[in-house]
Amino acid sequence: MSNPYLPVLILMVAALAFALGPLALAWIWAKKFSPKKPGPAKNATYECGLESKGDAWVQFKAEYYLYGIIFLIFDVETIFLLPFAVAFTGLSAGAFVAMMIFLLLLVEGLVWAWKKGVLNWE
Amino acid sequence: MESLEQIKSRIEAAVPGARIEIVPNDSPSGQRSLLVDREHGFAVAKWLRDDPELRFDYASNVTGVDWPDAELTEKVKVKKVVDGVEQEVEEVRKTVRPGYLEAVYHLYSMERKHGPLVLRMRTANRADQVRLPSLTPLWRAAELQEREIYDLYGIVFDGHPDLRRILMWDGFKDHPMRKDYVEPDDFEYEPTPHDEVLERAWRHYPAGLKQ
Amino acid sequence: MDEGLRSELQKQGVFVTTLEELYNWGRKNSIWPLGFGLACCAIEMMAASMARWDLARFGAEVFRPSPRQADLMIVAGTVTKKMAPQVVRLYNQMSEPKYVIAMGACAISGGPFKQGYNVLKGIDRYIPVDVHIPGCPPRPEALIHAFMTLQEKIDAQQLKGEGRPRHLDPDAPSEFPIPEYGEHDLEPPKNPEVWRPAVVVR
């Protein structure tokens, strides 16, 4: 009786009963009174009044991911640029040059992707 | 803006072969319009848009009109020999004007701040030759309204990028805004029936209404 | 149960009820409408759910975006023939029990557009309507009145027997045929099992 986990167990049972009780009640109620009435429109997946057409599996263009990656690179770049811009007045010329080289590397990649035709959306 | 007569003569000089008519209007507004033949309708509209004096760059409204076959009566004085004596007798002549469908464009110029110019085009008849050039390539604003005219009047616009029905569903066969459209007889009760609706109500309640 | 005995018990501080009353009391105070408007009546419907008219007093402020979670369809506005199949399909997709309020002249009969070519002459041609509210558009008070009428109707429903509502009857239909787009009109133009033409009395 002196098991310290006993209250936890009791609480668990109470929680389960609290959750399952109404569900069981509703289930018994439905069994006793309300008959099930499924139908083709009621069981349809899409529920906005229109009939669904075609397949939910659509192909994404591979360009989308390339776009996404390029966007992500420059998105992350702003995270580096922001503290640089905030502390700009206190920085040395070397820091500025280093940042410009960092920028140049990324822009170089963008130019290369552009040349490859990744940015042309067809 | 120049007068319609001036515009007409300039169009005739610029677009050779275009047959242009000024349609009078005896209503209080007195707004006359230009009637263009359908073969040159597109060229004339393009000229109206691009002419540096006029620059109609905005089509504010496009609508359709249905003109059913009409019987025109006119009184004509004819010289006739009656009982051996030549007399002037009034005679009533009846002519049947075949029906047609009409598309009406209201054009304004944003750049020159003038307008409207009312441009009309007519189809050959109401049954099988119902084609008109689409002016959507010139004014993008006409796209949906030409679709609406196609839906409700049945004018087929050549050169329209996306000519589908817009208000009614795709399988619909009729053109509801035509004068000879008969709507489905699908309502019965009307609290105060009269005229056509009364006749229709009689069909649904042969005994009930005559009491 | 005997009314006299019940009031006597109530005076003693004992409240008795039946399962039926409890069930109906719960249902009538938690009618969730489908968030669904077709025309200008929908504006009045929105006003009714806002602070000034406060439909929440009737437990009906939860406008559900999904028919699966809704109990009540307020057909608020003109039902065009192009929209009618969608409305009927939405009604079919609602779970039982479900109720319909036809709000405004258009939803009842086609209203001012009755003689037009593209307006359905009343949504009760396809689905069973519980409460009709006239008006063009009806004021939010009228909608609230319709709610109270519906609540009274729910309150009077029986659990068993002949007079039980549709959702408790295993033989009553839950879905109604969805009209199709025809060449000249909707096919069929009405559902004769649901709709009977009005009787002319002169």
User: What pLDDT digit, counting tens, does each position of A85-94 carry?
Assistant: 999 898 899 9
Give chains near C: 3+ CB pairs under 8 A: A, B
Q: B136 with B194, same domain?
A: no
Query: Average of pLDDT values for C150-175?
Result: 87
Q: B189 with B156, same domain?
A: no
Q: Please indicate whether, in this complex, the C-beta atoms of C197 and B204 are within 8 angstroms of each other.
A: yes
Percentage of chain B exceeding pLDDT 70 = 97
Nearest to C93 among A35, A37, A44 (CB): A44
- Quick check: is B75 in a domain? no
Q: B42 with B16, same domain?
A: yes
- Quick check: is B86 in a domain? no
C and B interact (at least 3 Cβ pairs within 8 A): yes
Q: B23 with B112, same domain?
A: yes
Residues A19-67: tens digit of each pLDDT: 999 999 989 988 888 888 888 888 888 888 888 887 778 887 777 888 8
Query: Is a pLDDT exceeding 50 seen at residue B211?
Result: no
- Quick check: is B50 in a domain? yes
Domain extent for B207: 181-211
Q: B108 with B211, same domain?
A: no
Q: Please indicate whether, in this complex, the C-beta atoms of C114 and B187 are within 8 angstroms of each other.
A: yes
CA-only gyration radius of chain C, Å: 19
Question: Mutating which of C30, C83, C86, C89 best tests the A interface, going by the most A Cβ atoms within 10 A?
Answer: C89
Q: Please indicate whether, in this complex, the C-beta atoms of A35 and C168 are within 8 angstroms of each other.
A: yes
- Quick check: is B88 in a domain? no
**Closest among B24, B30, B6 to B120, alpha carbons compared:** B24
Count B/C contacts: CB-CB distance under 8 Å: 55
Partners of A46 on chain C (C-beta within 8 Å) are none
C63-69 — which CB contacts under 8 Å span 24+ positions?
C63/C32, C63/C33, C63/C34, C63/C35, C64/C32, C64/C33, C64/C34, C64/C35, C65/C35, C66/A47, C67/A47, C67/A49, C67/C34, C67/C91, C67/C93, C67/C94, C67/C95, C68/A47, C68/C93, C68/C94, C68/C95, C69/C32, C69/C95
| Residues in chain C, overall count | 202
Q: Give C75's Cβ-side CA count (13 Å radius).
A: 38
Q: B37 with B116, same domain?
A: yes
- The pLDDT assigned to B152 comes to 93
Q: B167 with B186, same domain?
A: no
Nearest to A34 among C87, C93, C167 (CB): C167
- Quick check: is B61 in a domain? yes
Q: How confident is the model at residue C202 (pLDDT cuts 50, 70, 90)?
A: low
Question: Mutating which of A25, A34, A36 best tests the C interface, going by the most C Cβ atoms within 10 A?
Answer: A34
Q: B52 with B117, same domain?
A: yes
| B 149-168: CB under 8 A from C | 167-168
Q: B142 with B52, same domain?
A: yes
**Closest among C166, C182, C185 to C174, alpha carbons compared:** C166
Query: Is a pLDDT exceeding 80 seen at residue B205?
Result: no
Assigned CATH topology for domain C32-182: Rossmann fold (3.40.50)
**Token pair belonging to B176:** 């509801």
Q: B146 with B191, same domain?
A: no
- Quick check: is B110 in a domain? yes
Residue B110: alpha-carbon gap to chain centroid? 26
Task: Tell me what ipTM this predicted complex has.
Answer: 0.77
- Quick check: is B106 in a domain? yes
Q: B49 with B127, same domain?
A: yes
C and A interact (at least 3 Cβ pairs within 8 A): yes
Count: domains in chain B = 2
Q: B134 with B61, same domain?
A: yes
b (16+ CB within 10 A) / e for C33-72: bbbbbbbebbebbbbbbeeebebeebbbebbbeebeebbb
- Quick check: is B156 in a domain? yes
